[in-house]
Amino acid sequence: EDQVTQSPEALRLQEGESSSLNCSYTVSGLRGLFWYRQDPGKGPEFLFTLYSAGEEKEKERLKATLTKKESFLHITAPKPEDSATYLCAVQAGETSGSRLTFGEGTQLTVNP
Amino acid sequence: ETGVTQTPRHLVMGMTNKKSLKCEQHLGHNAMYWYKQSAKKPLELMFVYNFKEQTENNSVPSRFSPECPNSSHLFLHLHTLQPEDSALYLCASSQAPGARKTQYFGPGTRLLVL
């Protein structure tokens, strides 16, 4: 069974204090790892897809990286507007089709 | 309207009521999904539709009944729900079901069952 574990569960940062969120996964045949951002009362907003170990993607202050066991979401010099819950999801296996397995998320708070 | 829209945004219903959730996607996608998001739990896939045909039912109780009249619209019909069904119900769409197809989510319907 595919498993996704995100850590920490919650993270508080001061504005400008860089840090990383972790997504560890155990799957049979990774086909894609997805990062989403979710604001309170809203649906998840797509950020990145990573397909193979060693791949990296960047968007503004966010950078996602992927290894064979985990993914990191690096946040450089965060701002209060980066406060949200960050979700990681994996798609795996030859017969999984479109099924995404989500982690529980990391709730990020950036204080001014 | 752009992206994926959902109505209503909030719903309160009794256990004997019948209600429906509506989802519409404006992205030209062919696949649509229903997810359930409960507090402190990961998103759970409920149903998958591809070109109006249901391709996956993740062991969802029959009190949840999906309907997909076309590739742009998806409904979730609710009847005789239980308080534990209270959650955020999210609709998503993608170009087609399958690997490497990004799913885009709507804002969700916050459901409270009394």
The pLDDT score that the predictor gives to residue A58 is 97
Interface with chain B: mutation pick from A30, A48, A98, highest number of B CBs within 10 Å: A98
Partner-chain residue, chosen from A98, A101, A105, that has the shortest CB–CB distance to B97: A98
B69 interfaces chain A, CB cutoff of 8 Å: no
Partner-chain residue, chosen from A44, A51, A98, that has the shortest CB–CB distance to B94: A98
CA-CA-CA-CA dihedral for B109, B91, A94, A74, to nearest 10: -70
The pLDDT score that the predictor gives to residue B40 is 82
The pLDDT score that the predictor gives to residue B51 is 87
φ/ψ of residue A75, rounded to 5: -120, 115
Inter-chain contact B99–A34, Cβ cutoff 8 Å? no
Inter-chain contact B94–A31, Cβ cutoff 8 Å? no
φ/ψ of residue B99, rounded to 5: -65, 145
Q: Which two tokens stand for residue A69?
A: 């066991």
Inter-chain contact A100–B43, Cβ cutoff 8 Å? yes
**Residue B35 contacts residue A99 (beta carbons within 8 Å):** no
The pLDDT score that the predictor gives to residue B57 is 87
What number of C-beta contacts closer than 8 Å exist between A and B? 67
Taking CA atoms, what residue in A is nearest to B96? A98
Q: Which residues on B lie below 8 Å from A100 (Cβ)?
A: 43, 45, 103
CA distances from A62 to A40, A50, A66, B26 (A): 20, 14, 14, 28
Inter-chain contact A43–B102, Cβ cutoff 8 Å? no
- Per-residue pLDDT band for A92 (boundaries 50, 70, 90) equals confident
The pLDDT score that the predictor gives to residue A1 is 81
- Per-residue pLDDT band for B1 (boundaries 50, 70, 90) equals low
φ/ψ of residue B85, rounded to 5: -85, -5
∠ at Cα B33 (B28, B35), nearest 5°?
140
Q: Which two tokens stand for residue B74?
A: 């998806």
Is the model's pLDDT at A96 over the cut of 70? Answer: no
Inter-chain contact B107–A42, Cβ cutoff 8 Å? yes
Tens digits of per-residue pLDDT, B5-18? 999 999 999 988 89
Distance CA A43, CA B76 (A): 17
Tens digits of per-residue pLDDT, B69-111? 999 999 999 999 999 999 999 999 998 777 678 999 999 999 9
